[in-house]
């Protein structure tokens, strides 16, 4: 509470109430003083790093559309390596899988796997209504060890996509569903991208991409189950 006040996150009335209490409470007033001291020390002694001279100009120059793309030092190595893996692993025509893998990785990184957290498929399914332009089939696979964990709205290929989140032990899998009206059905096909196992198929005018880092055979079995049920 004392911290909330220090950070200016309390409303005026709570601030007054808190101050009254702190004035009478030795332990709280000690804590308040210690926190204030730390904050003052941080503001006085923590360095606010400045970019080197000319950095901003150089950086913005690189954004100019006409400027030739130069290879960037340093980061280029890592990027080139990542790009090489992508080019090898993913056929060019399947950009959707590539995007799905990136979206999957992002969902883990952002600590933002889910917008709606529930293990109830009857909650997840209606949640997507009105958010994507199609009915999202949501199923749970507890007997196979894949538990429905929730859903998230994502974007793939510039269009809204439903991401259905499953847990398998400590692993997280995303099943992405996008509209593919008129597309003919295709059987599940698997590929491995940057350490993620990915399976894609088309069924009933919807495209599905399953992404996760669960072992290949298990992911395949799940993908085939999912594809068969629709």
**Where in 55-84 is the site for another protein (CB under 8 A)?**
55-56, 59-60, 62-65, 72-75, 78-79, 82
DSSP 29-48: HHHHHHHHHHHHHHHHHS--
Q: Using the rule CB under 8 A, is 122 a contact of another protein? A: no
Environment class of 82 (CB within 10 Å of its CB; exposed 0-12, middle 13-18, buried 19+): exposed
Q: Give the whole-angstrom CA distance, residue 46 versus residue 49.
A: 9
Tell me the C-alpha distance between 154 and 133, whole Å: 13
The tokens for 87 are 């080019």
Closer Cβ to another protein, 74 or 142, answer by number: 74
Contact window for another protein (CB under 8 A) among 13-21, 135-143, 173-181, 212-220 = 13-21
> By CB under 8 A, what part of segment 180-209 binds another protein?
none
**Closest-CA residue to 101 (of 89, 93, 111):** 89
The nearer residue to another protein, 79 or 228, going by C-beta atoms, is 79
Asked if 93 touches another protein (CB under 8 A), the answer is no
Is residue 87 involved in binding another protein (CB under 8 A)?
no
Please tell me the distance from the alpha carbon of residue 173 to that of residue 165, in angstroms, as a whole number.
6
Residues in the chain: 230
For residues 56, 61, 62, 64, the Cα torsion angle rounded to the nearest 10 degrees is 140
Task: CB nearer to another protein: give 45 or 184.
Answer: 45
CB 91, min distance to another protein, A:
18
**Which residue, 144 or 157, is less far from another protein as judged by CB?**
157
The span of 96-104, 130-138, 140-148, 222-230 binding another protein (CB under 8 A) equals 96-104
Pairing label, strands 196-203, 186-193: antiparallel
- Nearer to another protein (CB atom), residue 18 or residue 221: 18
In this chain, which of 24, 71, 93, 110 binds another protein, going by CB under 8 A? 110
């Amino acid at each position: 509470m004392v911290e909330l006040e220090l950070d200016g996150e309390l409303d005026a009335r709570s601030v007054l109430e808190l101050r009254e209490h702190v004035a009478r409470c030795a332990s709280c007033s000690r804590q308040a003083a210690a926190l204030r001291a730390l904050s003052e020390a941080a503001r006085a002694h923590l360095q606010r790093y400045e970019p080197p001279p000319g950095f901003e100009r150089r950086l913005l120059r690189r954004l100019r559309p006409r400027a030739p793309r130069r290879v960037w030092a340093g980061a280029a190595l890592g990027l080139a390596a990542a790009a090489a893996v992508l080019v090898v692993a993913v056929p060019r025509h399947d950009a959707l899988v590539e995007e799905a893998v990136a979206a999957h990785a992002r969902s883990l990184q952002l600590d933002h796997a889910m917008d709606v957290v529930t293990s109830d498929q009857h909650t997840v399914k209606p949640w997507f209504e009105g958010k994507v332009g199609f009915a999202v089939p949501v199923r749970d696979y507890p007997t196979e060890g894949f538990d429905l964990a929730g859903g998230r709205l994502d974007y793939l290929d510039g269009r809204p996509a439903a991401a259905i989140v499953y847990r398998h032990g400590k692993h997280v899998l995303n099943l992405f569903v996008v509209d593919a009206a008129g597309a003919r059905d295709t059987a599940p096909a698997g590929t491995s991208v940057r350490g993620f196992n990915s399976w894609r198929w088309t069924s009933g005018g919807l495209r599905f991409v399953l992404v996760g880092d669960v072992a290949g055979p298990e992911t395949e079995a799940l993908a085939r189950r999912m594809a068969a049920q629709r």
